[in-house]
């Protein structure tokens, strides 16, 4: 398959960005509303997408790929916070307004798959079970804190939010290898 023309890429990007905006503010939007906001013709839309569900699936996949690229190898919390911050309105709509619930369900599924891949080297079933449980607790706490942060209009700097989360967990680095905390990176992005 050849490269896509730059105009096609721009048009698809415009449609997808408009869709993200509508998912954030008006999740039950119509194709007509989308086309009006994006200033794209119906024919152009259907050239690239079968229907609204296909479009939303493509948009969600792009957002998921972008988020997951930030956490390959280890769940780097500062990178996760930055990725959420870059799409704050969308994540607020997903986490606090329950718009596009398929996105969050799929995100958690992909995160769990990554976690399970990381833990697949552990042969002790009890240790693996404990680490999975601990990962779920840390991840649940992270998303709850992110939801609150977004509702409060991101009232803390990203580094302060990370520090707050570390304080809530009262993280002690002793014995990390035997806990689910080993799956996470708690360092700030600006730390050298």
What are the pLDDT tens digits along the chain (192 aa)?
456 789 999 999 999 999 999 999 999 999 999 999 999 999 999 999 999 999 999 999 999 999 999 888 889 999 999 999 999 999 999 999 999 999 999 999 999 999 999 999 999 999 999 999 999 999 999 999 999 999 999 999 999 999 999 888 876 655 556 678 888 988 898 865
List residues bridging with 75 in a β-sheet: 184
Q: Which region, left, alpha or beta, applies to residue 12 given φ > 0 means left and ψ of -120 to 50 means alpha?
A: alpha
Q: Are residues 92 and 10 in the same domain?
A: no
Q: What is the pTM of this model?
A: 0.89
The distance of Cα 184 from the centroid of its chain, to the nearest Å, equals 16
Domain assignment present for 65 = no
Instruction: Please state, in angstroms and rounded to a whole number, the distance separating the CA atoms of residues 66 and 49.
Output: 20
Q: Are residues 33 and 103 in the same domain?
A: no
Q: What is the pLDDT of residue 1?
A: 46
Residue whose structure tokens are 């998921």 = 64
User: What CATH number corresponds to the domain at position 2?
Assistant: 1.10.10
Cβ contact 178:68 at 8 Å: no
Q: Are residues 99 and 167 in the same domain?
A: yes
Q: Are residues 50 and 98 in the same domain?
A: no
Single residue among 56, 86, 102 that ends a domain in this structure = 56
Residue whose structure tokens are 């096609």 = 8
Instruction: Please state, in angstroms and rounded to a whole number, the distance separating the CA atoms of residues 81 and 78.
Output: 5
Q: What is the pLDDT of residue 169?
A: 81
Total number of domains constituting the chain: 2
Domain containing 32 equals 1-56
Contacts of 111 by beta carbon, 8 Å cutoff, 6+ apart: 68, 71, 75, 139
């Amino acid at each position: 398959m050849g490269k896509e023309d730059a105009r096609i890429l721009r048009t698809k990007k415009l449609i997808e960005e408009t869709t993200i905006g509508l998912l954030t503010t008006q999740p039950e939007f119509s194709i007509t509303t989308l086309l009006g906001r994006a200033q794209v013709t119906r024919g152009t839309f259907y050239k690239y997408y079968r229907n609204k569900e296909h479009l939303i699936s493509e948009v969600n996949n792009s957002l998921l790929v972008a988020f997951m690229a930030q956490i390959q190898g280890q769940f780097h919390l500062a990178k996760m916070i930055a990725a959420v911050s870059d799409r704050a309105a969308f994540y607020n709509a997903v986490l606090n307004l329950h718009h596009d619930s398929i996105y969050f369900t799929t995100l958690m599924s992909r995160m769990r798959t990554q976690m399970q891949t990381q833990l697949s080297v552990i042969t002790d079933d009890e240790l693996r079970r404990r680490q999975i449980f601990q990962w779920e607790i840390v991840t649940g706490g992270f998303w709850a804190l992110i939801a609150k942060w977004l509702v409060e209009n991101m009232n803390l700097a990203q580094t302060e939010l990370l520090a707050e989360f570390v304080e809530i967990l009262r993280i002690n680095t002793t014995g990390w290898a035997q806990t689910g905390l080993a799956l996470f990176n708690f360092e700030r992005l600006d730390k050298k």
